[in-house]
Amino acid sequence: MDLKEINNTIFESIKHIDEERKEYWLARELMGVLDYKKWERFSNTIDSAKETCKNSGYDINDHFPGVGKLINIGKGGKRKVDDYKLSRYACYLIAMNGDSRKKVIALAQTYFAIQTRHQELLEKSYDLMSEYEKRIYRRKQVKESNKSLNKIASLKGVKNFDKFTNAGYKGLYNGETADDIAKRKRLRYREEILDNMGSVELGANIFRITQTEDLLTKQKKKSEGLSCNTHYEVGKKVRKAITDIGGTMPEDLPTPNKSLKELDKYEHNKMIE
């Protein structure tokens, strides 16, 4: 199971969003995912994580606020049990204090280390970022923008999303599909092309995506063909804008030496050394 699959299933599936749009995980739900059978044992791991948090200079209450809850115990009875509303950083510390011999603990360490690092970068001023950090920042923007675009496209009649996505790429990349771009970049089978773009190339794609979303929102007719054509035309216009300002065509921009996945693994190893 790779990190992308974990991201989309195990840990993302138990993530919650509060009224302030902040993400959190409940300790008792995380306990099950991390394959702990008894709360007492998991509670000891949480205590160790809290101690690490304190020694690192962070407020425990910011990352491990208690949220006790009532559970049914049969015959209409209820009992209060301890629980915690964990931040991403708290989850990372719990994973780091867990038994790394368990595969799921090792996976959790990787997942929460990378996510914590990404959030730190997103909160950093853009002009102070390195190229790697800018790639992370814009890659996240592309991911979120694509989710929003696909939701609108679905409402406008799109069912074949490969066709829809390729329409945008064709406009921006002078006829190249996603597969064509992957081949030109010499990527492995099913390797994500967006993870192998520099910040400038990602920026061009963000512009393509957001402008297409805006036009589809205004589009009255529900038609896959019309939506694909809109995506293609926006891609062409973004390409023309690059030409008009004397920029570099996206297909002529260099492919980074390492994908973001490879760099994420490197950053994670640095964090746990």
- The 10s digit of each residue's pLDDT in 58-84 is 899 999 999 877 666 666 667 778 899
**What pLDDT, on a 0 to 100 scale, did the predictor assign at position 235?**
97
Same domain flag for 15 and 74: yes
Same domain flag for 49 and 180: no
Same domain flag for 68 and 150: no
Phi (first) and psi of residue 168, to 5 degrees = -65, -45
pLDDT at 239 over 60: yes
For residue 46, how far is the Cα from the chain centroid?
25
| Spatial separation of the C-alpha atoms in residues 6 and 4, rounded to whole Å | 5
Per-residue pLDDT band for 1 (boundaries 50, 70, 90) equals very low
Span 144-163, pLDDT tens digits: 999 999 999 999 999 999 99
- The total of structural domains in the chain comes to 2
For residue 133, the enclosing domain spans: 126-272
Same domain flag for 105 and 145: no
Angle between helices 103-122 and 88-96 (to 10 degrees): 140
Exposed, middle or buried: residue 233 (CB in 10 Å: 0-12, 13-18, 19+)? Answer: middle
18 or 181, which is more confident?
A: 181
**What pLDDT, on a 0 to 100 scale, did the predictor assign at position 255?**
96
Exposed, middle or buried: residue 74 (CB in 10 Å: 0-12, 13-18, 19+)? Answer: exposed
Range in 101-110, 194-203, 264-273 with the lowest mean pLDDT: 264-273
Same domain flag for 134 and 268: yes
Same domain flag for 107 and 152: no
The whole-number average pLDDT for the span 40-63 is 91
